[in-house]
Chain A
Amino acid sequence: MSETHPVLARTEPRAVRVALVLAALAFLGCFLVVPLAAVFFEALAQGWRVYLASLREPEAWAAIRLTLTATLAAVLLNTSFGLAAAWVLGKFEFPGRRLLATLIDIPFAVSPVVAGLMFMLLFGAQGWLGPWLIDRDIRIAFALPGIILATTFVTFPFVARELAPVFQAQGGEQEEAARMLGASGWQTFWRVSLPGAKWGLAYGVILCTARAMGEFGAVSVVSGHIRGVTNTLPLHIEALYNEYQFSAAFACASLLSLSALATIGLKAWVGRRKSERPTAPGSAR
């Protein structure tokens, strides 16, 4: 091996290599595989029938639908905002560009609970806009709009941060070439810039989706925990757990874990496609 792959030539003794690999595997086992397996084990502890019944329960079903709705809305919003922000950051040089790049990262730095409180301070009954909203019977806090807002805020940076370096790496030449060939601004964007960045976009959307589905802190503050109405899947799991309904809690948790595993698989596949393309350098994260 070492003769045919000089770059991979190994210098450590075999025993050291085996020990290192085993240590890494043991760590992964203790902290990832065993807990994840425990979730599925607990979920199925009382059999398939109980498992399916706990997912079919109306409150669980409502939580699943709410999570999917909020996720879809947040991903759609963040894809459009993210595209616009990444375009501006990647294609133009202007005063305040660095400031904008920093602002985009704020949701990563702010604790989700604080983010939730921010929205309560704005839209809650005692908040700045609260009385005005109540007068007009517009409900944001303790309702779907609040949940979508909180989820969108927390997941805002993913698409923009994935795309901006890709747009930047494209440079202006391909767009100029398209222009010289008679393409309009829209045609250039849809046919040249965006397809050239599609794997970066897919990567950002996947990360955003995963984060949106699992969001707990911010949503916990704005939702008001109304069962079957404003409880998302993570909130519903917590409620069940606190009521000692372990089988039901783990059944819902297993669903969330499955979606996370699917996302990771998808992310790995897209990540590989992305790195094959010279237009998309490694992600900024």
Chain B
Amino acid sequence: MSIHLQAITKQFGAFTALDRVSLDIPDGQLVALLGPSGSGKTTLLRILAGLELPDAGAALVSGGGDRRVGFVFQHYALFKHMTVFENVAFGLKVRPRRERLSRAGIRAKVQEILDTVQLGWAGPRMPDQLSGGQRQRVALARALVIEPQVLLLDEPFGALDTQVRKDLRRWLRRLHDQTGITSVFVTHDQEEALEVADRIVVLNHGRIEQDGSPQEVYEKPASAFVYQFLGQVNRVRGRMVDGNLAIGGASLSVTTDTLQEGTQAAAYLRPHDLQVGLTEVQGALPALIRRIHLAGPYARVQLEVLHDATELEAHVTQEEMGRLQLQPGQIVYALPRRLDVFPDTVAPADADYVI
């Protein structure tokens, strides 16, 4: 079953939650809607579910006869007065009599889906006797038992411990690989989106910033916002001079055809794309080593650019560290291997994502 959204707009009072969002999701895809709070991602999901109506635009779901939608709520929304078994059976029991399974049929089907989520033993329990991760799996079982053609999940692992959420998101990926249900999940956790999804739709202020595979979104961010929101990033501000980005006395060579000569611009580069050297080379920024964190697979070197005291972080392999013998207080030359330049218009509030 595929989903087509055309120019969806949704206002809550004066706040624009969604601003002409168009999106096509083909059958069988697992899509992440990624964005900060207030970006409109949950509203978009609720419109897909039919829980919210758009002010303008059209949401079309096409394919197979009856369009059943499974929805998993952020806080599970389990029926607290029912056992786990009754919770899962609910969607089967409320069907019109002629479509309803027999009592034994319902029992078998519920048990089967509880086994699938590894909670075969939990049928007689009440929801408040289960842990967060178990409740979330009950919520998934309850959504899956009605054999939905689309599965929608709102921050499915948001309220769980780090380890449990890691396990559950792998489990969700496996489940999707087995069932092939068209699935859309909302998250503000870029790691979760990158690990689980086939495709990531990045939302900000009610608009789509970028739409692509995890690799595309991570490696070719389409905007400064996406750069900042996905993964760690350094930002260096400067001005376009002779097609290069001038920062104080130094200049970074950039490739851009959109930025006018003389405009304010900012370069974005990942910490692992910053090469630290001891000798001055063309296009490298002189910087002071502030601090070195050695724990982990690579050393995190914190630098302060000499010209304007911009803070940068470089990831240096242990091998390189051994060769360079870096020490705090040393002056080094930081050479970007790869960077992207965007107009320097990022509002200070958004700049919070810069690490």
Contacts and interface: CB of A to CB of B under 8 A. Distances in A.
Interface of A: 173-174, 176-184, 187, 191-192, 195-196, 198, 277-279
Interface of B: 49, 51, 68-71, 73, 75, 77-82, 90-91, 94-95, 128, 142-143, 146
B71 A180 contact: yes
15 contacts: A174-B79, A174-B80, A176-B71, A176-B73, A177-B78, A181-B90, A181-B91, A183-B90, A191-B90, A196-B80, A196-B81, A198-B81, A277-B80, A277-B81, A278-B128
Contacts of A195: 81-82
B91 A182 contact: yes
A182 B71 contact: no
B95 A182 contact: yes
Nearest to A179: B51
A177 B71 contact: yes
Given A182-B68, A182-B146, A278-B128, A177 B79 contact: yes
B318 to A, nearest CB: 49
A182 B94 contact: yes
A278 B143 CA distance: 23
Given A187-B94, A191-B90, A181 B146 contact: yes
Contact of A173 (B75, B142, B146): B75
A187 B77 CA distance: 17
A183 B146 CA distance: 12
Nearest to A197: B81
A59 B73 CA distance: 61
Given A181-B90, A191-B90, A176 B146 contact: no
A178 B80 contact: no
Contacts of A182: 68, 91, 94-95, 146
A192 B68 contact: no
A185 to B, nearest CB: 11
A174 B90 contact: no
A239 B71 CA distance: 64
B94 A196 contact: no
A196 B80 CA distance: 7
